[in-house]
Structure 1
């Protein structure tokens, strides 16, 4: 008996391997997936501009990164002693304008280089609703909590969005002919736009994503949105805000991504690495007993066998330190509160 409609994504035409280089750009869902890819030892530049929801700002930032264009000077703002830029997320900030300019130029240069060397670009589109800064007439990536009367909010026209993204693909293809693009529509609902407008927004993005995959054989679509909305159609897969997918949903969607996009070698590695991560997180009940030292020795050997494939230098250093210095028993951990009772 089935209790839900399972969605099995088709295999992508271009498989992701252990040595693939990946850039993720877009909404917070892009960042979640990028973090999980990096946790499994893939080479990932994860959402370098911070969370960017609308395609207009995504296109602008990636074009700036590839052309080496500096940030617009008229889009810096200062709020409560902190400087931001309207083209970037608020996670990129500084205490003065010059410091922020340097940071943004470095981020753009890093992203441009990564795009030229990448095998895959994960591009997650979050919303077709945009905010236009009235004074400059330009769409902003983030309002940075500035007064609402400074902006005009509206649904971007589908033809203009299609043109923007089509132009971006041409620029990307010219800069890196080996690049494959994986499009997703973020499953995070923008309830502030109202649920009806959110549906229009997501539908707009989904139509454009479909058309881009039809016109370009190096562009694919992964149905993260459909997996969340149709396959996991239950509020138990959401955070308490009933908007963002929770960790269980992320696990499920990532597993589906692995099934459809990863090659056999990478899938086998992920299984092996997941077991090793559990071993790395293990702490002894009774300190460095002979049995635990043997456990650490085996773990060290396993990590050394992987060192030719992926960078495990941090994990090797941690295990060697544990072998050398001994470990505090779990029941005597330093962060345990006085009077706290532990159960085996």
Structure 2
């Protein structure tokens, strides 16, 4: 007897392995998946400019990185004792203007290198709702608690999103023709926009993505993280206390559905070894000085060394 409807997922023709170089961009769910990649020691870079929710802002940052368009004083503002940039997350904001610009441009250069070297680009879109700065007449990635009166709120149309996704793919392919794209829609509900408005937002993202993926099957794929949480895990026990974000059980489940279909089966045994080591490293002994614990540490160190001989990039 089945008590859930399982979302079908086709196995990737370009699976991720331990030689892959992954760049993950987008919403907070991209961070959840990025943490999984890091835990299992894949070569992954996640959100160098912080969490970004909408397609247009992601496209803008990709364009900057690919064309190496440096940030200047015209791109930043001072508010609440910090320098901010409307294109990036507030976690990068800084009290010193020169250091802030230096940091932004250093990240820009690193992102250019990461995109150029990547084998897989994973982009998670969160919302179609955007805020447009009235003075600059530009869509922002983050309002940085600037008064709302300075922005107009609007929803991106399917056509606009589709064009933005295509531009993002084209920009990346100018510097990297061999990378593979995995797109997904964040399962996090943006209820602050409204219940109906959140569904409109997700629907526009999904429609636009499928229009693009259908035309780019060889290089693009759609992973149904939103559909898995909405359908397979259709129960509030899979949500965090805010009833909006997936809890750890849901994140773990969606990750399993991902690695079953998008990560090379040849690496599954290595992933189990890495997981075993990670659990051992998290172990807290009753007596750290006991002979048994010293032997445990010695065996653990041997396991780590053996894995690092095969995969030099592994760091525990």
* TM bracket (short chain): over 0.9
- 1:184 paired residue number: 184
- 1:170 corresponds in structure 2 to 170
The structure with the larger Rg is 1
Instruction: Tell me if the contact between 2:38 and 2:44 (Cα under 8 Å) persists in the aligned partners.
Output: yes
Q: Structure 1, residues 195-225: CA drift from partner, whole Å, max 9, x if none?
A: 1111111011001111111111201111101
How far 1:311 sits from its partner (Å)? 4.5
Q: In structure 1, what is the equivalent of residue 295 of structure 2?
A: 294
Q: In structure 2, what is the Cα distance between the partners aligned to 1:180 and 1:108?
A: 21
State the alpha-carbon separation in 2 of the partners of residues 112 and 278 from structure 1: 34
> Of the two structures, which has the highest relative contact order with CA contacts closer than 8 Å and spacing of 6 or more?
2
Paired residue secondary structure (1:91): helix
Call closer, same or farther: CA 1:11–1:78 in 2, change over 3 Å: same
Q: Which runs of 5+ in 2 are unaligned?
A: none
What's the counterpart of residue 226 of structure 2? 225
Query: SS where residue 86 of structure 1 aligns?
Result: coil
The Cα shift of 1:314 comes to 5.1
What is the deviation of 1:284? 2.0
Shift of 1:287: 3.0
CA contact (8 A) 2:213 2:220 kept: yes
Q: Distance in 2 between matches of 1:23 and 1:248?
A: 24
Contact kept, 8 Å, 2:133 with 2:150, in 1: the verdict is yes
C-alpha separation between the residues in 2 aligned to 1:221 and 1:251?
19
Structure 1 runs of 4+ off > 4 angstroms?
311-314
Aligned length, in residue pairs: 315
1:259-270 → structure 2 map (5 Å cutoff): 259-270=260-271
Output aligned runs, 1:331-342, within 5 Å.
none
Could you tell me which runs of 5 or more consecutive residues in structure 1 were left unpaired when the two chains were aligned.
316-344
Alpha-carbon distance in structure 1 between the residues aligned to 2:163 and 2:90: 27
Question: In the alignment, is the contact (CA less than 8 A) between 2:41 and 2:314 conserved in 1?
Answer: no
* 1:334 aligned residue: none
SS of 1:288's partner is: coil
Which residue of 2 is the match for residue 337 of structure 1? none
CA contact (8 A) 1:303 1:312 kept: no
User: Is contact 1:18-1:265 (8 Å) kept?
Assistant: no
Determine helix, strand or coil for the equivalent of 2:273. helix
Quote the Cα distance in structure 2 between the aligned partners of 1:72 and 1:201.
Answer: 32
Aligned equivalents of 1:162, 1:70: Cα separation in 2: 26
The equivalent residue for 2:247 is 246
Q: Which residue of 2 aligns with 1:338?
A: none
Listed one character per residue, the Cα deviations across residues 283-310 of structure 1 (whole Å, up to 9, x for unaligned) are 2223322222221121111111101233
Match runs of 1:106-255 below 5 Å? 106-216=106-216, 217-255=218-256
Deviation at 1:72, TM superposition (A): 5.5
Q: 1:215, 1:313 → 2: CA distance?
A: 37
C-alpha RMSD of the superposition: 1.4
Query: Do the aligned residues in 2 keep the contact of 1:119 with 1:180 (CA within 8 Å)?
Result: yes
Give the alignment's TM-score, normalised by structure 2. Answer: 0.96
